[in-house]
Amino acid sequence: MTGMKMQLDVVYFAWVRERIGLGREAVETEAHDVAGLVGELAAREERYALAFSDLSALRVAVDQELCDFDAPLAGAREVAFFPPMTGG
């Protein structure tokens, strides 16, 4: 099935934000899961490809909940990409 597009807010933090050059954008996607979205974003431009070149260095949250890259996007409103957290 193609042509089923959904609108998402995608947010970036720390060096992911710096590498991509923005903190938030509205994205239209046909992806079913986070990995599919990453594929679409990485295919856009070099700066995205660079930011997503090593997924082991990235974490993802869907609607503010940490999840894995195979998490489904059905019903999601916001997806966040960022490096491992350094709180405390």
Partner 1 sequence: MLSVQEEAFDAGEALNQFTAGSGAAGAVVSFTGIVRDDSGSLDYMEIEHYPAMTEKAIAAMIDEATSRWQLTACRVIHRFGRLEPGEVIMMVATASRHRQAAFEAAQYLMDYLKSRAPFWKKEVGKDGESWVESKQHDEAALTRW
Q: Which is nearer to partner 1, 27 or 30 (CB)?
A: 27
C-alpha span between 10 and 39 (Å, rounded): 14
| Position 19, amino acid | R
11 binds partner 1 (CB under 8 A): yes
| DSSP secondary structure code for residue 12 in this structure | E
**Binding piece for partner 1, criterion CB under 8 A, among 10-18, 29-37, 38-46, 47-55:** 10-18
- Shortest spacing between CB 29 and partner 1, in angstroms: 20
CB of 1 to partner 1, least distance (A): 31
Separation between Cα atoms, residue 52 and residue 77, nearest integer Å: 20
- Candidate ranges 29-37, 44-52, 58-66, 67-75; the one touching partner 1 (CB under 8 A): 58-66
What is the dihedral angle through the alpha carbons of 8, 50, 42, 17, rounded to the nearest 10 degrees?
10
Instruction: Please report which helix (H) or strand (E) contains residue 24, including its range.
Output: strand 24-29
The minimum distance between CB 77 and partner 1, in angstroms, equals: 10
